[in-house]
Chain A
């Protein structure tokens, strides 16, 4: 009789634990990184009774944690890639905005306005209003280059700032992972199984870390996670390395580049670190290549291309202008006056392009004629206007053609990146769904479990009640 009571008690306790697990699942239905749990049961070991073996009810076989390491690995790999492409996409969008493309106020329209003004001036080079218009258009063109160049510089600066802030977050995550490792190892030592909430927390941290860098996770027998990226052990047991951003200046070329280094806790450097994907990789790449005007990389650099266009354009126009005479120039040899200059002592770049201040002050100085004292002569200004159709201007293209080649490359890059974002997003969604299907909480399922455990609990209680009644009957037999 007492055996039945024991069996009932075991069933009661197990149903109660089942309800606890179900409640915990329901409570964490929206918790990111949470993997559902399930109470596993096994029949109690049978004991010999008479000539038979009698079962001893139900016992817990532990709580199963629905986490699949392969799915986790895939999810993190795609998260890294998606973050890389999304960062690329966002930056390319901002570059398009800096160029004003597609729109009305762009370098192309400024170039067209400049050539329009040159052409108008060629119809009447003696006209002061035409000269003023030409100087104003040249200044507009210079300011459009300046504005675009500065916007790209600003974008480069904000890439650096974003990288610094991301590195700081990565360091927090690495440190939190080391701490979680330590706690997991502690619970394992105490209870023999790792704390599932800590494992969930660890998984959450790893998921977030994969947004910044591509990582590989190795599960140790102690329950801890060793985080590896590009061969470097970022986290091992309770030790984490820290990332640092380094900026270096090439004194010969003046080029500034950035890189990442790994350091130990005592500040000693472990070596350089170049992630292949994740936000950090994208930001470093754009700082060092896409937005770097002095890069020697074969890859596309919008800043370098823009500088090339600005300097070649100024050079072409200035070379022609140097052979011309202004409205009031006299003498047989031209004064060698330029149209464009640099606002700094260095070479002409997109950010430094400007109109010769003397021309702004006195548009009569604009060289338009190939002969002094002939204000109607338009040979020079016509040659300047002709630069618009110069098919050998740069890389066998006209100025507008070269600008078109820049925007086309940018468009192709943007489209390719958008495609990559879409594709990777789809794959990531699929992997997320698979992980969710395996480890996510289904409320209907949990409601069913709720009923199951409730009914089991009621039945077990009934067993105890009946056994109790039977015991009472036995006790009262002697009265």
Chain B
């Protein structure tokens, strides 16, 4: 085959251009850490890369949701501990008032019961961020509009109504929230309830426990005719029976709170396990993605070196071949 000057230069030009382009590609791969500089670099890997990225984003989303739900559950758990303790204390007070030695101290113990009611309300109004945790889906101050005699935008409020024979103190605990459970998405097709509802803690309508405690307070603080009890005044036999029944109800309510706390704990544990599982999945997915999308720096560096050597030798050989011609030997 005849080799002409254009054959030399054309081939050399193509080789040098290709090698320069390859070096630039390897440099870009090393500099950016990205294996794919164009989609067409590895079309069969694209669906997997997109899918891994999508999975990672989704898992991060669930992870973040779980973090937020776990934080709220921790707040609820802490509130339930306070509520449970207060109920236990109140139950103890109930047992105490039934002791003969304490029959003359009902008026004093009544005040202690009232304090416990206030403590319970405070715990029931626990908020996480700007939402009340035991207020169902009506859980912001703005959605809890008070109507007289209510005064505050909180879910549970102790209000004073007109005294009546059945409620001589006129005290009442109002619940302005609702008992709708709140759910969060924790996986594909998986939801988990976050926090708990007021009825699960405080019984029917979210106020059963408070009604019991106010009845206890009324029984301790007032005579059956509705007049206030003073220190040293003794209860009637009917009142003793009533208090015994109330103590039993308080014990039942304490049991319910304990089981609600346990249920929340189980859910929290499940969510924590799910969170851990997601972390493991994330690590795996990131590794898969890295294998496809990240530069193998060692391989890229070696390839760059090979291309550099090829480039250098192409230049040398090109220059050497074109340097000599018959004209150099003509005199």
**What residues make up the interface of A, taking CB atoms closer than 8 Å to B?**
29-30, 92-93, 96, 101-102, 108, 112, 115-116, 119-120, 122-124, 126-127, 327-328, 369, 371, 373-378, 382, 385-386, 388-389, 398, 400-401, 403-405, 407-408, 410-415, 417-418, 429, 432-433, 436-438, 440-445, 447-448, 450-451
Contacts and interface: CB of A to CB of B under 8 A. Distances in A.
B50 A123 contact: no
Contacts of B147: none
A82 to B, nearest CB: 13
Contacts of B41: 415
Contacts of A410: 39-40
B136 A376 contact: yes
B183 A102 contact: no
A414 B188 contact: no
Interface stretch (B58-66, B96-104, B308-316): B58-66
Interface stretch (B6-14, B105-113, B259-267, B279-287): B6-14
A450 to B, nearest CB: 7
A440 B5 CA distance: 8
Main secondary structure of the interface of A (DSSP, over half): helix
Contact of A444 (B136, B139, B180, B326): B326
B69 A123 contact: yes
Contact of A371 (B4, B64, B137, B140): B137
**Shortest 5 CB-CB distances between A and B: which pairs?**
A414-B40, A440-B4, A404-B50, A447-B326, A411-B39
Contacts of A385: 61, 185
A112 B57 contact: yes
7 contacts: A108-B50, A115-B57, A376-B138, A400-B57, A436-B10, A437-B1, A447-B327
Contacts of B47: 404-405, 408
B326 A122 contact: no
A249 to B, nearest CB: 32
Interface string B239-260: 0000000000000000000000
A380 B63 CA distance: 20
B38 interface: yes
Interface residues of B, number: 61
B305 interface: no
A102 B36 contact: yes
Nearest to A414: B40
B46 A404 contact: yes
Contact of B54 (A127, A404, A441): A404
B148 to A, nearest CB: 19
B58 A389 contact: yes
Contacts of A437: 1-4, 7
A389 B189 contact: yes
A403 B50 contact: yes
Contact of A442 (B3, B53, B68, B129): B3
A119 B140 contact: no
Contacts of A441: 4-6
A405 B43 CA distance: 11
B171 interface: no
Interface in B138-173: 138-140, 142-143
A407 B46 contact: yes
A326 to B, nearest CB: 12
Nearest to B322: A443
B131 interface: yes
A411 B188 contact: no
Contacts of A382: 183-185, 191
B74 to A, nearest CB: 14
Contacts of A403: 50
A92 B54 CA distance: 24
Contact of B38 (A102, A119, A377, A447): A102
Nearest to A450: B330
A375 B138 contact: yes
Interface in B1-39: 1-7, 10-11, 14, 34, 36-39
Contacts of A415: 40-41, 43
Given A112-B61, A433-B11, A436-B7, 16 more contacts: A96-B38, A96-B39, A102-B37, A124-B130, A126-B140, A378-B182, A378-B183, A378-B184, A386-B185, A389-B189, A436-B4, A437-B7, A440-B4, A440-B5, A443-B327, A445-B2
A121 to B, nearest CB: 11
Contacts of B178: 374
B295 interface: no
A102 B29 CA distance: 12
B143 A440 contact: no
Given A92-B40, A443-B325, A447-B330, A375 B137 contact: yes
B135 interface: yes
B51 interface: yes
A362 to B, nearest CB: 14
Nearest to B195: A376
A444 B7 contact: no
Contacts of B46: 404, 407-408, 411
A440 B4 CA distance: 6
Given A120-B64, A123-B65, A411-B40, A443 B5 contact: yes
A404 B38 CA distance: 15
A313 to B, nearest CB: 15
A328 B178 CA distance: 17
Contacts of A408: 43, 46-47, 50
Contacts of A450: 330
A415 B138 CA distance: 56
A407 B49 CA distance: 11
The winner among B1, B68, B143, B182 for most chain A CB atoms within 10 A is B182
Nearest to B61: A119
B176 to A, nearest CB: 11
Contacts of B139: 126, 375-376
A376 B137 contact: yes
A127 B129 contact: yes
Contacts of A432: 10
Contacts of B194: 123
B77 to A, nearest CB: 17
A407 B50 contact: yes
Contacts of B138: 373-376
The winner among B37, B40, B139 for most chain A CB atoms within 10 A is B40
Given A127-B130, A375-B142, A112 B54 contact: yes
A439 to B, nearest CB: 9
Contacts of B10: 429, 432-433, 436
Contacts of B62: 119
Interface in B118-140: 129-131, 135-140
A451 to B, nearest CB: 7
A411 B43 contact: yes
A102 B135 CA distance: 47
A66 B62 CA distance: 74
Contacts of A436: 4, 6-7, 10
A440 B7 contact: yes
Contacts of B129: 124, 127
Contacts of B65: 119-120, 122-123
